[in-house]
Amino acid sequence: MEITNISEAKASLSQLIKRVQETGESIIIGKAGKPVAVLSPYRADTTVRKLGGSWEGKVEISEEFDALDSSIENSFYKASVFPKNE
């Protein structure tokens, strides 16, 4: 696989991206003849995620989880934004 140097890649980035999209090949970008980066096609992860894991069956959410104490609710919805000058 050929190595494209950084200055060449900088000058022709859009052509390199087009090449990657069309052919699916990866392009190695190098500095002083040594590889430093790879330009490769993006592939979306289509793996189906499995729910569960190590906490499955160990955590229980109470019925009151979403209940809101009236004093907290009042401080958000009924309090003034700015304190009154006395």
Q: Using one digit for the tens of pLDDT, what is the confidence trace for 4-16?
A: 999 999 999 999 9
Counting the structural domains of the chain, the total is 1
CA gap 47, 42 in Å, rounded: 15
Q: What is the domain extent for residue 34? A: 3-39
CA gap 78, 16 in Å, rounded: 59
Q: What is the mean pLDDT of residues 44-67?
A: 83
pLDDT at 57: 80
Helix, strand, coil in percent for the chain, rounding step 5: 30, 15, 55
Q: Is residue 11 part of a domain?
A: yes
Q: Is residue 33 part of a domain?
A: yes
Say if residue 80's pLDDT is above 80.
no
Say if residue 69's pLDDT is above 90.
no
Q: Is residue 23 part of a domain?
A: yes
Least confident window among 8-12, 36-40, 61-65, 73-77:
73-77
Nearest Cα neighbor of 16 from 47, 40, 37, 34 is: 40
CA gap 14, 21 in Å, rounded: 11
